Amino acid sequence: MRGLMQNHPLLISSLIEHAAVAHPQAEIVSRTHEGGLVRHSYTDVARRARQLAGALLALGVTEGTRVGTMAWNGHRHIGLLYGVSGLGAVAHTINPRLFPEQLDHIINHAEDRALFFDLSFLPLIERLAPRLRSVRTFIALADRKDTPRSTALDLVCYEELIDSHDPGFEWPRLDECTAGAALPAGRSKT
């Protein structure tokens, strides 16, 4: 006999899609690095997360690929976490307060394929980049007008990256036990 429980997996992509349907106009307000306020609804976050997932696929990110993030809590980071995890990749949040030697060890050990970061971390990322063996793409969490030129990196602008992809991306049907995020460094897995 089968129980009368739901018959679909509990997925991170289901969470943001439910929020977009159940609370479409609820506001998420954040301040940008540049100082302005941004207001997004859950509908906006879900759309942008789907666009990011499509962009990640185009960059070669697939299920199980680790994607590093070094960012403060904000509108881009929330969409990033849903987009990465919804795709089946692993969102690897990186603590910027660690020493550079610890950071490059953590990023290399995780084998992060892409690294998303807030502009406030650009000088740190530029110093780390020559030692990051697995990172192929560096994405600045900014729009085009605020994405700086870097002499050390070929930066990808986050807003241009997601704007170039279809918001109709279909979330994959993953096993609900698929990893969505990596444990912070120094924490036990038990």
For the cut 80, the answer to whether the pLDDT of residue 5 exceeds it is no
Q: Quick one: pLDDT band at residue 186, thresholds 50, 70, 90?
A: very low
Q: Residue 22: helix, strand or coil by DSSP?
A: helix
Q: Quick one: pLDDT band at residue 189, thresholds 50, 70, 90?
A: very low
- Percent of the chain with pLDDT strictly greater than 70: 86
Q: Which two tokens mark 23?
A: 């609370």
Determine the Cα–Cα distance for residues 168 and 154; give it in Å rounded to an integer. 28
Q: Which residue has the higher pLDDT, 137 or 186?
A: 137
5 belongs to a structural domain: no
58 belongs to a structural domain: yes
Paired sense of beta strands 114-117 and 66-70, if any: parallel
Residue 52 backbone dihedrals phi, psi, to 5 degrees: -65, -40
Q: Find out whether 91 and 84 touch, Cβ atoms under 8 Å.
A: yes
Number of domains present in the structure of the chain: 1
185 belongs to a structural domain: no
Determine the Cα–Cα distance for residues 16 and 59; give it in Å rounded to an integer. 23
Tell me the per-residue pLDDT of 57-112, one tens digit each, with 9 for 90 and over.
999 999 999 999 999 988 999 999 999 999 999 999 999 999 999 999 999 999 99
186 belongs to a structural domain: no
pLDDT (0 to 100) of residue 171: 84
pLDDT (0 to 100) of residue 17: 84
Tell me the per-residue pLDDT of 20-53, one tens digit each, with 9 for 90 and over.
889 999 999 998 877 889 999 999 999 999 999 9
Range of the domain at 99: 12-163
For the cut 70, the answer to whether the pLDDT of residue 113 exceeds it is yes
168 belongs to a structural domain: no
Q: CATH number, domain at 143? A: 3.40.50.12780
pLDDT (0 to 100) of residue 53: 96
The position carrying tokens 């509990």 is: 10
187 belongs to a structural domain: no
113 belongs to a structural domain: yes
Q: Quick one: pLDDT band at residue 184, thresholds 50, 70, 90?
A: low
Tell me the per-residue pLDDT of 117-162, one tens digit each, with 9 for 90 and over.
999 999 999 999 999 999 999 999 998 988 888 888 999 999 999 9
Return the DSSP state at 181. B
Q: Find out whether 118 and 94 touch, Cβ atoms under 8 Å.
A: no
**Cα pseudo-dihedral 91, 37, 40, 72, rounded to 10:** 10
